[in-house]
Chains A and B, each alone.
Chain A
Amino acid sequence: VNWPRTRLLRSGTLIALGLLVEAATFFFGGPVPFLVFALVGCVLALAGVADFLHYVLAGPGPAPDRN
């Protein structure tokens, strides 16, 4: 598997954003931070993980990224 920078950046950005949102919710209590954690943080982070896994399992497409 080649590791194009754009793909790593896209997955990484999603994961990083998700994890940062998750981390921010640890500073607060109550139902709203809980919902933000689950509906924003987890969704973003898991989307990034899914994007990464998709590339690893499906491999590069017909027009490979040359970055």
Chain B
Amino acid sequence: MSPTGAVLAVLVAATVAAIAVLASHPEALGSRKGKALAFLIYLVLPVAVSGVGAMAHMEKAKETEFCLSCHVMKPYGESLGYDDAAFVPAVHYQNNLVPRERACFTCHTTYTLFGDVKAKLNGLRHVWVYYSGQVPEKISLYQPYSNRECLNCHAPARSFLEGGLHADVMPALLANETSCKECHDQFHDVANLAAHAQWKGAPGKGAAP
């Protein structure tokens, strides 16, 4: 349980106890202080606990473990362990270029004003699709992968800015006219999962070094 979850659990216990006391002694609410206490316990605390709890769950939903808890996503998790530096997700995961505990979310959210919200709404839709048995045979992105998601991390990096290989195409990359995927074209390749050797630190293969 996360520290936020522990604090919320304690708050819930305190609120429930206070509700039990107040409901069994309604005469205590005759005073102004009693009424204020009732508002705190019956309105402020439940709303606050539900709000903070929702945020805690939202944060948890960004974790790699959360995404891989649906079995249709497991092959994508395993693809993070390909022992081949040509594969973009694997090289990012294995070299800590993305936080391992948020690997999926880091690349598969849009870095726009409502990117997080959109990702969460899509996530809810995925849960519905998963539990209603409508998972498509081939899982694909909703729209072509935008350079914006790559450039969010790479654009300010000195190695990218001063790297000779990107200089010629830099304006086109920044304008999203040339896709990063034109050169970096190896991704999850889950159709050939068994053909790829696995690195020992892949998700589900024990502790990463």
Instruction: Identify A19's interface contact among B46, B54, B69, B130, CB under 8 A.
Output: B46
With an 8 A cutoff between CB atoms, is B157 at the interface?
Answer: no
CA separation between A48 and B49, bound complex, in Å? 14
Given the interface pairs A5-B26, A49-B46, the reply to whether A26 lies near B53 with Cβ below 8 Å is yes
A30:B66 contact, CB within 8 angstroms = yes
With an 8 A cutoff between CB atoms, is B9 at the interface?
Answer: yes
Instruction: Identify B8's interface contact among A1, A23, A42, A49, CB under 8 A.
Output: A23
A12:B19 contact, CB within 8 angstroms = yes
A41 → chain B closest CB, angstroms: 7
Report B's interface with A, CB cutoff 8 A: 1-2, 5-6, 8-9, 12-13, 15-16, 19-20, 22-24, 26, 29-30, 35, 38, 42-43, 46-47, 49-50, 53-54, 56-57, 60-61, 63, 65-66, 69-70, 123, 127, 130
CA separation between A3 and B41, bound complex, in Å? 14
CA separation between A31 and B110, bound complex, in Å? 21
CA separation between A8 and B26, bound complex, in Å? 8
**Chain B contacts for A49, CB-based, 8 A:** 42-43, 46-47
Instruction: Identify B12's interface contact among A5, A22, A34, CB under 8 A.
Output: A22
B22 → chain A closest CB, angstroms: 6
With an 8 A cutoff between CB atoms, is A4 at the interface?
Answer: yes
Extra contacts, 11 of them, besides A12-B19, A18-B46 (Cβ < 8 A), are: A3-B29, A4-B26, A5-B24, A5-B26, A12-B22, A22-B8, A26-B6, A29-B63, A29-B65, A31-B130, A49-B42
For A23, A33, A38, A45, the residue with the greatest tally of chain B CB atoms inside 10 Å of its CB is A23
**Chain B contacts for A48, CB-based, 8 A:** 42, 46
For B2, B50, B54, the residue with the greatest tally of chain A CB atoms inside 10 Å of its CB is B50
B49 → chain A closest CB, angstroms: 6
